[in-house]
């Protein structure tokens, strides 16, 4: 039989972007397979170009490979053509570094950033020679670990994984590796020990019971070591950011150097899951960011540096930072980018600094069209602020502005949607006045999908018919030269909403959809929603039950046994305030809101050697 490598060679010329599968990139770490005791795969359930843009995976890759007796290698989902070629030739899914099949590793860690990637997890396990269900695997198989934001409700994936890490992975992953050193991976013993690690959730140690109405009655531990509730892990201080990061040959979606300048966000937008689950806010010091930038650019040769965070403008010394980075790296033709701009004059001044002469386009996210609805979602932005910022942007040289909105938000009416259209027209008129025919405006409208661990976790996804009505209103009203409107398919949102707030029974649905051919559901060219509706029907389940139902406040939610550090009482309070249209201040600007994070991590919050938390000291003043 031909070796996998020669088969690989003869196939790749007919494969789309074959360099997705060949590795060898600058800064990739290739260790001696036979001489390294512990072998970890870091798997990303999407194509190479998407996965290579993920900073989280790169942080863990760097961290694990710093350990002398550990090797960490990468793998991404093969696109459908490659999957076919691999199945056709009997070649297993292999890692980019040493080209070993996944089943030969000790640990296989998946990042779970997005619900519509779930079928890709199954593709990767299956192609990697690993039985799909954890209960079908024994000591000879790797342990499958899930991490990332998906683990805040991992129930739909529970049967496929041995354990999930809830929260930040930097410390836990090293503890799980340490357990490998001590115990090898004798599965039962390993899991029993792992379940005692803070932040580790072993789903097979819990039993889920359901009421006759289909709701969860309770999730109860069935193993002595299983905690009744798993509290997420955080790092008290952000560890040094990786600088010798892998530089892809194939252009990544975000093909640039990235520095996480802070983690967490204090703005408290009620729709935003990241804003809740990544608390508390922790900043890196200015000096640390500057020296990291120096090392990162020297080690990669990147021509662009992105300052990554959920709200970069809120970094306490952002102006100073951008100014100094530009002074140091601008002359080397390195550009600086901030992925998240607020819609105020301060942000505009920043944009002017880093965009310099190159005023291509600016993106802002008012999220809702009316001030009333912005109060509901806690997006503090007045009508006037939006118009003033747009005017200032056009007047100071930008000719293209992009605005992000959501529809289907709780309490939204047709008037709120019309408010989007009229706001857009006002901004367009401002553009015309300032830049004449050159002024461009693009409007992107996404469907709001309620997420676990947010104040809107009880809210329904809007009915498809209503969403379509809202789309058609916007399409009618937002048209004309130099005005562009884009929106997403509501069916995709139904699927996302069902998986996002689903329970363990959805695992059978995912399996059935995957067996029916579902792959790359996040890609419109690959998604066939009918496969999913068939899969739901085959299990006697209704996607509407998960997606469109207003959940009673007393309902046991499938993720109630997982604790994000932000208390359910706080979320409930925010939900009630949203219905009263009451703003809640950014907690760096007002009193402590007692979201629960300080109570959950009393020890960590005292460890503020470097960097600091955005939280107000108990009994003291901010910072």
Partner 1 sequence: MRPQIGHNQRLRVTFAKGQEIKYISHLDLMRLWERAMRRASIPLLYSQGYNPRPKISIAFPLAVGITGEREIMDVTLESPMAPLDFATSVRRQLPAGASLLEVEEVYPTLPPLQTQVRAAEYLATVDDGESAEQIQTRIDSLLGSEQLPRQRRDKRYDLRPLIEDLRLKSKGESQCILGMTLTAGEGGTGRPDEVLDALGLAERVRAITRTRLVFSPPEEEPPGLVGLGAC
Residues forming the site for partner 1 (CB under 8 A)? 9-10, 12-13, 17-19, 21-22, 24-26, 247, 249-251, 297-303, 332-333, 357-358, 360
Q: What is the smallest separation between the CB atom of 486 and partner 1, expressed in angstroms?
A: 24
Q: Does a cis peptide bond (omega within 30 degrees of 0) precede residue 280?
A: yes
Q: What is the smallest separation between the CB atom of 536 and partner 1, expressed in angstroms?
A: 40
- Check if the beta carbon of residue 257 is closer than 8 Å to that of residue 367: no
Q: What is the smallest separation between the CB atom of 11 and partner 1, expressed in angstroms?
A: 11
Smaller CB distance to partner 1: residue 14 or 609? 14
C-alpha to C-alpha distance for 557 and 150, rounded to whole angstroms: 15
Smaller CB distance to partner 1: residue 333 or 609? 333
Smaller CB distance to partner 1: residue 109 or 242? 242
Q: Classify residue 93 by its DSSP letter.
A: P
3-state secondary structure at position 100: coil
Q: What is the smallest separation between the CB atom of 27 and partner 1, expressed in angstroms?
A: 9
CB atoms within 10 A of CB 468: 12
Q: What is the smallest separation between the CB atom of 457 and partner 1, expressed in angstroms?
A: 43
Smaller CB distance to partner 1: residue 231 or 299? 299
Smaller CB distance to partner 1: residue 209 or 251? 251
Q: What is the smallest separation between the CB atom of 367 and partner 1, expressed in angstroms?
A: 30
Which helix (DSSP H) or strand (DSSP E) does residue 412 occupy? Answer: none
User: Between helices 187-194 and 169-183, what is the axis angle to 10°?
Assistant: 140
Q: To the nearest 10°, the Cα dihedral for 592, 598, 600, 605?
A: 170
Smaller CB distance to partner 1: residue 261 or 297? 297
Smaller CB distance to partner 1: residue 297 or 498? 297
C-alpha to C-alpha distance for 146 and 122, rounded to whole angstroms: 12
Q: What is the smallest separation between the CB atom of 243 and partner 1, expressed in angstroms?
A: 12
β-pair type (362-367, 400-407): parallel
- Classify each residue of 195-207 as buried b or exposed e, where b means 16 or more C-beta atoms within 10 Å of its C-beta: bebebbbbbbbbe
Q: What is the smallest separation between the CB atom of 23 and partner 1, expressed in angstroms?
A: 9
- Check if the beta carbon of residue 428 is closer than 8 Å to that of residue 439: yes
Which residue, among 579, 273, 603, has the nearest Cα to 449 in the 3D structure? 273
Q: What is the smallest separation between the CB atom of 26 and partner 1, expressed in angstroms?
A: 5
- CA–chain centroid gap for 564, Å, is 15
C-alpha to C-alpha distance for 436 and 454, rounded to whole angstroms: 42
CB atoms within 10 A of CB 415: 11
Question: Which whole-number Å values give the CA distances from 77 to 49, 51, 52, 461, in the listed order?
Answer: 10, 9, 12, 29
Smaller CB distance to partner 1: residue 302 or 601? 302
Q: What is the smallest separation between the CB atom of 249 and partner 1, expressed in angstroms?
A: 4
Question: Which whole-number Å values give the CA distances from 465 to 468, 489, 490, 491, 494, in the listed order?
Answer: 5, 12, 9, 11, 12
C-alpha to C-alpha distance for 197 and 366, rounded to whole angstroms: 41
Smaller CB distance to partner 1: residue 274 or 299? 299
Q: What is the smallest separation between the CB atom of 566 and partner 1, expressed in angstroms?
A: 41
3-state secondary structure at position 218: strand
Smaller CB distance to partner 1: residue 22 or 36? 22
């Amino acid at each position: 039989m031909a070796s996998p490598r020669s088969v690989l060679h003869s196939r790749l010329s007919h494969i789309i972007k074959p360099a997705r599968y060949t590795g060898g990139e600058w800064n990739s770490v290739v260790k001696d397979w036979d001489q390294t005791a512990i072998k970890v795969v870091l798997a990303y359930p999407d194509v190479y170009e998407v996965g290579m843009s993920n900073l989280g995976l790169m942080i863990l890759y760097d961290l694990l490979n710093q350990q002398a007796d550990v090797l960490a290698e990468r793998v991404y989902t093969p696109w459908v053509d490659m999957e076919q070629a691999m199945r056709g030739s009997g070649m297993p899914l292999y890692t980019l570094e040493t080209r070993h099949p996944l089943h030969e590793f000790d640990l296989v860690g998946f990042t779970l950033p997005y619900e519509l990637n779930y079928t890709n997890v199954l593709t990767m396990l299956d192609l990697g020679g690993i039985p799909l269900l954890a209960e079908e695997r024994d000591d000879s198989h790797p342990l499958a670990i899930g991490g990332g934001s998906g683990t805040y409700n991992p129930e739909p994936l529970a049967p496929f994984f041995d354990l999930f890490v809830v929260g930040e992975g930097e410390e836990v992953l090293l503890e799980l590796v340490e357990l490998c050193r001590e115990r090898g991976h004798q599965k039962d013993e390993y899991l029993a020990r792992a379940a005692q690690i803070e932040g580790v959730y072993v789903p097979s140690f819990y039993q889920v019971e359901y009421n006759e109405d289909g709701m969860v009655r309770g999730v109860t531990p069935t193993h002595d070591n299983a905690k009744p509730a798993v509290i997420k892990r955080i790092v008290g201080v952000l560890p040094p950011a990786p600088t010798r990061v892998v530089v892809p040959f194939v252009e990544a979606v975000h093909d640039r150097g990235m520095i996480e300048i802070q983690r967490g966000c204090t703005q408290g937008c009620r729709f935003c899951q990241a804003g809740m689950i990544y608390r508390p806010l922790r900043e890196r010091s200015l000096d640390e960011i500057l020296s990291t930038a120096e090392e990162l650019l020297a080690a990669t040769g990147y021509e662009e540096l992105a300052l990554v965070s959920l709200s970069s403008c809120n970094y306490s010394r952002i102006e100073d930072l951008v100014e100094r980075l530009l002074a140091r790296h601008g002359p080397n033709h390195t550009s600086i980018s901030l992925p998240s701009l607020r819609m105020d004059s301060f942000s505009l001044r920043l944009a002017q600094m880093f965009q310099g002469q190159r005023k291509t386009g600016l993106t802002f996210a008012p999220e809702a069209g009316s001030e009333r609805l912005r109060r509901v979602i806690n997006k503090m932005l007045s009508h006037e602020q939006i118009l003033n910022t747009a005017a200032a942007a056009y007047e100071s040289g930008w000719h293209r502005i992009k605005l992000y909105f959501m529809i289907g938000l709780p309490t939204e009416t047709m008037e709120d949607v019309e408010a989007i259209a009229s706001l857009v027209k006002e901004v367009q008129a401002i553009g015309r006045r300032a830049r004449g025919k050159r002024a461009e405006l693009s409007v992107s409208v996404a469907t709001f999908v309620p997420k676990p661990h947010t104040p809107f976790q009880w809210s329904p996804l809007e009915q498809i018919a209503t969403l379509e009505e809202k789309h058609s209103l916007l399409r009618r009203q937002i048209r004309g030269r130099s005005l562009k409107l884009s929106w997403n398919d509501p069916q995709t949102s139904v699927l996302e909403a069902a998986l996002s707030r689903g329970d363990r029974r959805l695992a059978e649905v995912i399996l059935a959809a995957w067996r029916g051919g579902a792959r790359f559901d996040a890609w419109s060219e690959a998604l066939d929603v009918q496969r999913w509706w068939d899969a739901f029907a085959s299990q006697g389940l209704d996607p509407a039950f998960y997606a469109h139902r207003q959940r009673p406040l007393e309902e046991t939610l499938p993720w109630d046994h997982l604790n994000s550090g932000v208390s359910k009482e706080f979320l409930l309070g925010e939900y009630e305030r949203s219905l009263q249209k009451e703003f809640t201040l950014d907690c760096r600007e007002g009193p402590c809101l007692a979201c629960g994070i300080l109570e959950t991590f009393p020890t960590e919050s005292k460890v503020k050697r470097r960097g600091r938390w955005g939280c107000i000291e108990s009994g003291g003043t901010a910072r």
